[in-house]
Amino acid sequence: MISKIKEKNPLIHNITNYVTVNGVANALISLGASPVMADSEFEVSDIVSISNALVINIGTLNERVLKSMIKAGIRANELGLPVVLDPVGAGASLYRTQAVFELLKSIKFSLIRLNISEAKTLINQTSTTNGVDASQSDLNADLSSAISVAKNISEKFNTITVISGKSDIITNGKNIAICDNGHEMMSKITGSGCMLSAVLGAFMCVGDTFETAVHGVSAYGICGERAFDKLGDNGNATYATLLIDELAFVSDDDVVKFGKIRHI
């Protein structure tokens, strides 16, 4: 699947947040895709029309960009393109939560990538999100309850769900995989989740399936492990750069050899 991304060089339209936009663009380039960041409602339909996938990230949400997201998502659905949602901080504010449900009502998403606190918000369970991060209490919940939340989202919205955490959960409502690739250092940099959502958008271009999502999550986690192995005495900023570097080198064979995937 990674080799297909490099061969196809898919154009990924990102309506994303300005905190992590540079990292997202570089991650996609490193993987072998091409990023475009366009969020004006006057051009998003045109940009979607020449793209291979759309990734919507609500990290820095406002009314202007919300209109653009809905317009772009509707056009992507019309064209049959994969659409990924990263509902950053859902549950942190009433406005943000209402915006997420407006997006879910207006757009059919191929994949939703989020943390456990955001996930609980999507199925109207009480969550205690810590700003844009999952709360410690939600993170401490047992894996089986998180799996149940993921399945609920997939069934409710007819989508592939990826809940990121110490163990990543991937499900389409029927099949479930747990991926243990990755490193805790990934949670110490801004944008690791945003980059994963964009990377999964690229993977969806070469196979809009549960198996593709599992492959993409594992590949990204392997990059996180290798970045830490090379970190030495350096800090967070170096780690972010190393993570992006590793996306250029990870292969399908690496996923087969080093993927820590459990199907349950």
- The annotated binding site for substrate is made up of 37, 191
CA-closest candidate to residue 201, choices 32, 43, 41, 58: 32
Cα–Cα distance measured from residue 170 to residue 218, given in angstroms and rounded to the nearest whole number: 10
CB within 8 Å of 192: residues ≥ 6 apart: 186, 224, 240, 243
Cα–Cα distance measured from residue 102 to residue 225, given in angstroms and rounded to the nearest whole number: 36
CA-closest candidate to residue 34, choices 2, 65, 8: 8
CB within 8 Å of 15: residues ≥ 6 apart: 37, 38, 39, 44, 54, 55, 56, 57, 65, 68, 69, 72
Count of Cβ atoms closer than 10 Å to residue 231 Cβ: 16
Would you say the C-alpha torsion 196, 235, 118, 221 has a positive or negative sign?
positive
Q: For residue 111, give the 3-state DSSP assignment.
A: strand
Enumerate the known binding-site residues. Answer: 37, 113, 164, 191
Would you say the C-alpha torsion 121, 127, 131, 132 has a positive or negative sign?
negative
Enumerate the known binding-site residues for ATP. Answer: 113, 164
Instruction: Report strand pairing: 111-114 vs 83-86.
Output: parallel
